[in-house]
């Protein structure tokens, strides 16, 4: 490959080749990088923290709403992360909006069950061509939500497994070129 020194082509080619090398070294990781908590800095010495579900565990309707919204935030950011995935897919969670504090238990149960479907087998973690290695470890085994007890159990497992899934990536970051 011949590229003129000082050209934009050089920068693009270097970034492409660097990312390709990272992709080849993903190994058993699900992702080529962890989805970061925020914008990547220009400083290569800064360690970027992995995106995580940080809301407290669900114990009642109010905490269930907060946790479900935090799970939705992480799922939407993670599934859109093109640097982490082999390809980005449109998951069922993409069309979901945050819950309101006035939502009733049945609405929150429906949302939690939808998040489980969007994430679980047949959803994000095992969809063909999305991951470098499909995730058979962080599968949601909790029953669908039918009351507050099963809702809390499902949301708390979603929190644990999604956070672990997002963190299953190669250390460091891909180079993502953006317009100046």
What is the per-residue pLDDT across 133-157, written as a single tens digit (0 to 9) for each? 888 899 999 999 999 999 999 999 9
List the structure tokens of 160: 């644990």
Residue 50 phi, psi dihedral angles, 5° rounding: -75, 140
Instruction: Determine the pLDDT at residue 120.
Output: 87
Q: What is the pLDDT of residues 113-133, one digit of tens each?
A: 999 988 886 678 888 888 888
* DSSP secondary structure, 94-122, as one string: GG--PPPTT--HHHHHHHHHHHHHHHSTT
The answer to whether 57 and 149 have CB atoms below 8 angstroms apart is no
């Amino acid at each position: 490959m011949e590229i003129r020194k000082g050209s934009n082509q050089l920068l693009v080619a270097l970034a492409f080749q660097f990312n390709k090398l990272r992709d080849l070294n993903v190994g058993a990781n699900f992702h080529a990088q962890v989805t970061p908590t925020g914008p990547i800095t220009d400083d290569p010495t800064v360690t970027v923290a992995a995106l995580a579900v940080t809301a407290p565990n669900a114990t009642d309707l109010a905490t269930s709403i907060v946790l479900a919204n935090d799970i939705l935030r992480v799922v939407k950011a993670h599934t859109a992360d093109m640097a982490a995935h082999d390809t980005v897919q449109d998951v069922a969670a993409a069309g979901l909006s945050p819950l309101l504090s006035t939502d009733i238990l049945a609405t929150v149960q429906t949302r939690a069950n939808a998040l489980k479907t969007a994430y679980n087998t047949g959803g994000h973690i095992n969809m063909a061509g999305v991951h470098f290695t499909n995730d058979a470890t962080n599968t949601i085994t909790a029953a669908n939500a039918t009351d507050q007890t099963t809702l809390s159990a499902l949301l708390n497992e979603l929190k644990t497994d999604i956070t672990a899934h997002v963190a299953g990536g190669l250390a460091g970051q891909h180079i993502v070129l953006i317009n100046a």
